[in-house]
Amino acid sequence: MEKPCQIKSIPLSSFRAAKPEKKQNQHAPAPVRYTYKYREIPLQRDVGLAVREEKEEMGYCCNNSFPASSHVLLTDLSQRWKCPKLQNLRHKGQFHGSQKASKVLAFYGLKAPPYKLDALEPHMSRRTLEMHWGDHHRGYVEGLNKQLEKDDILYGHTLDELVKVTYNNGNPLPEFNNAAQVWNHDFFWESMQPGGGDMPRLGLLEQIEKDFGSFTNFKEKFLEAALTLFGSGWVWLVLKRNERCLAVVKTSNAINPIVWDDIPIISLDVWEHAYYLDYKNDKGKYATVFMNHLVSWNAAAARMARAEAFVNLGEPKIPIA
Amino acid sequence: MGWFQIGPKQAQQVKISGLGLKFKGTPEKPRPASPTVKFSPFVHCRRHTRLLQSSMALRTLITRKSLGLGLGVSQSVRGLQTVSLPDLPYDYGALEPAISGEIMKLHHQKHHQTYITNYNKALEQLHEAMEKGDSSTVVKLQGAIKFNGGGHVNHSIFWKNLTPVHEGGGEPPKGSLGWAIDTHFGSMEALVAKINSEGAAVQGSGWVWLGLDKDLKKLVVETTANQDPLVTKGPNLVPLLGIDVWEHAYYLQYKNVRPDYLKNVWKVIDWKYASEVYEKECP
Q: Of A129, A272, A279, which to mutate for an interface test with B (greatest number of B Cβ within 10 Å)? A: A272
What integer pLDDT is reported at residue A313 of this predicted model?
82
Tens of pLDDT, residue by residue over A175-199, are 999 999 999 999 999 999 999 888 9
Q: Chain A residue closest to B145 (CA)? A: A230
CATH 1.10.287.990 is right for the domain spanning A126-191? yes
Tens of pLDDT, residue by residue over A216-256, are 999 999 999 999 999 999 999 999 998 889 999 999 999 99
The nearest CA of chain B is from the CA of A90 a distance in Å of: 35
Asked if A231 lies within 8 A of B114 by C-beta distance, the reply is no
Average pLDDT in chain A? 76
Strands B73-75 and B81-83: antiparallel
Of B186, B188, B161, the residue nearest B173 (C-alpha): B188
Of residues A69 and A249, more confidence is placed in: A249
Residue A235 · residue A226 · CB < 8 Å: yes
Of residues B35 and A299, more confidence is placed in: A299
Provide the whole-model pTM: 0.70
Give the pLDDT band of residue A151 (cuts 50, 70, 90). Answer: confident
Instruction: Measure the CA–CA gap between A18 and B79, rounded to whole angstroms.
Output: 81
Nearest Cβ partner for B256 among A136, A177, A230: A136
Nearest Cβ partner for B251 among A252, A253, A272: A272
Neighbouring CB atoms inside 10 A of A312's CB total 10
Of residues A10 and A108, more confidence is placed in: A108
Q: Of A232, A273, A278, which to mutate for an interface test with B (greatest number of B Cβ within 10 Å)? A: A232
What is the interface size between A and B, counted as CB pairs within 8 Å?
Answer: 50
- Tell me phi and psi for residue A235, to 5 degrees: -115, 135
Asked if A272 lies within 8 A of B205 by C-beta distance, the reply is yes
Residue B209 · residue B222 · CB < 8 Å: yes
Domain with CATH 3.55.40.20 in chain A: 202-311
Domain with CATH 1.10.287.990 in chain A: 126-191
> Which chain A residues are Cβ-neighbours of B110 within 8 angstroms?
280-281
What integer pLDDT is reported at residue A6 of this predicted model?
55
Instruction: Measure the CA–CA gap between A2 and A8, rounded to whole angstroms.
Output: 17
Q: Exposed, middle or buried: residue A121 (CB in 10 Å: 0-12, 13-18, 19+)?
A: middle
Domain A202-311 CATH (choose: 3.30.300.30, 1.20.1340.10, 3.40.50.300, 3.55.40.20): 3.55.40.20
> Which chain A residues are Cβ-neighbours of B255 within 8 angstroms?
131, 135
Inform me whether the C-beta atom of residue B147 falls under 8 Å from chain A C-beta atoms.
Answer: yes
Inform me whether the C-beta atom of residue B145 falls under 8 Å from chain A C-beta atoms.
Answer: no
Tens of pLDDT, residue by residue over B79-138, are 688 899 999 999 999 998 999 999 999 999 999 999 999 999 999 999 999 999 999 999
Low-confidence ranges of chain B (pLDDT < 50): 1-4, 6, 10-45, 57, 60-72, 77
Nearest Cβ partner for B251 among A139, A231, A273: A273
Inform me whether the C-beta atom of residue B266 falls under 8 Å from chain A C-beta atoms.
Answer: no
Structural domain spans, chain B? 101-163, 167-281
Domain B167-281 CATH (choose: 3.55.40.20, 3.90.190.20, 2.40.160.40, 3.40.50.300): 3.55.40.20
Instruction: Give Dmax (Cα) for chain B.
Output: 71
- Angular region, B148: left φ>0, alpha ψ -120 to 50, beta rest: alpha
Range of lowest pLDDT (A78-87, A306-315, B50-59, B130-139)? A78-87
CATH 1.10.287.990 is right for the domain spanning B101-163? yes
Tens of pLDDT, residue by residue over B264-277, are 999 999 999 999 99
Strand ranges in A170-232 using DSSP code E only, listed in sequence order: none
> Which chain B residues are Cβ-neighbours of A270 within 8 angstroms?
none
